[in-house]
């Protein structure tokens, strides 16, 4: 959660390096450079590349990715790579996210046994974000700092319940003290700076629903179980 990286992503010169294979939303690998020779790699998802969906408003997915990063910040959990809006991307408005160098064979199911506490955070995060698409491959182990980062948060923050995830290993388990404190801080942030950020990125009913999910999770005091009759696991799993 580096301010310097956010600045570079928000203001640096963007150059497209290539297409990302298998991206359903035409994601591109780009390099972002400032005048002084500092450069970084990023993933660029232009709004115009977004695949239309029946349940999410068109052209809103890239904003949800930024909202997901802001959520991780508000929780004070560095589990989403820096993600910013770019109105002036090379293919038009979209989002830029720090590229996380990782081994694609290492994903949620591979990491689970060794890092349960780290991965539980994604379960909590996904309940608050109402993540409708947490596949195992959306948890990356960064080579640089040996942390797990979540990606692909376009299908989040819908006003209606849509939690669809591979992370059900912690269902029914009580929140840890740390998780409870983070969620309590989040409710305060929702009334402050984070709430205002979300209001810029999402529809008003989606902001209200985010607050309701946070309060409901604190009130339940435990991670939810999959809902009956809803397809609560994404396909493919990885
Ligand atoms: N921040 C990132 N760092 C590293 N690789 C990424 C990042 N974001 C996406 N990718 C890679 O690009 C692929 C497509 O990205 P994804 O977010 O799944 O896009 P889509 O919106 O098309 O589903 C991912 O499977 C992953 O391999
Ligand atoms: Mg994807």
- pLDDT band at 134, cuts 50/70/90? very high
To the nearest whole number, what is the mean pLDDT of the chain? 97
Return the number of other C-beta atoms located less than 10 Å from residue 228's C-beta: 6
Best mutation site among 5, 6, 27, 234 for ligand 1, i.e. most ligand atoms within 8 A of its Cβ? 27
The secondary structure element, H or E, covering residue 43 is strand 39-46
Residue with CA at minimum distance from ligand 1 atom 12: 20
Establish whether residue 23 lines the binding site of ligand 1, counting it when its CB lies within 6 angstroms of any ligand atom: yes
Angle at which helices 177-190 and 116-129 cross, to 10°: 30
Residue with CA at minimum distance from ligand 1 atom 1: 99
Record the tokens describing residue 128, joined without a space: 């608050």
CA of 76 to the centre of ligand 2 (A): 25
Residue with CA at minimum distance from ligand 1 atom 19: 23
Residue 106 above 80 pLDDT? yes
- pLDDT band at 234, cuts 50/70/90? very high
pLDDT value of position 44? 98
Task: For residue 233, give the nearest of 212, 63, 225 by alpha carbon.
Answer: 225
- 28-46 pLDDT, tens digit per residue, is 999 999 989 899 999 999 9
- 72-84 pLDDT, tens digit per residue, is 999 999 999 999 9
Residue with CA at minimum distance from ligand 1 atom 13: 23
DSSP helix/strand/coil, 139? strand
Record the tokens describing residue 36, joined without a space: 């002084």
CA of 223 to the centre of ligand 2 (A): 25
């Amino acid at each position: 959660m580096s301010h310097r990286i956010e600045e570079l992503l928000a203001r640096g010169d963007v150059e497209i390096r290539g297409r990302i294979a298998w991206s359903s939303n035409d994601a591109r690998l780009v390099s972002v450079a400032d005048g002084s020779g500092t450069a970084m790699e990023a993933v660029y998802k232009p709004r115009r590349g977004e695949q239309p969906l029946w349940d999410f408003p068109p052209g809103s997915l890239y904003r949800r990715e930024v909202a997901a990063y802001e959520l991780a910040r508000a929780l004070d959990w560095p589990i989403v790579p820096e993600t910013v809006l770019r109105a002036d991307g090379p293919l038009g408005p979209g989002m830029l996210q720090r590229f996380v160098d990782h081994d694609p064979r290492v994903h949620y199911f591979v990491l689970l046994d060794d890092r349960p506490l780290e991965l539980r955070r994604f379960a909590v995060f996904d309940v608050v974000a109402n993540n409708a698409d947490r596949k195992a491959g959306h948890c990356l182990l960064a080579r640089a700092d040996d942390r797990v980062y979540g990606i692909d948060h376009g299908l989040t923050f819908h006003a209606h319940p849509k939690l669809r995830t591979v992370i059900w290993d912690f269902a029914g388990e009580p929140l840890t003290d740390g998780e409870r404190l983070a969620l309590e801080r989040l409710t305060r942030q929702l009334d402050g700076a984070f709430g205002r950020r979300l209001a810029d990125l999402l529809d008003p009913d989606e902001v209200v629903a985010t607050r309701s999910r946070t309060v409901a999770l604190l009130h339940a005091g435990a991670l939810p179980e999959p809902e009956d009759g809803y397809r609560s696991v994404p396909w493919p799993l990885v």
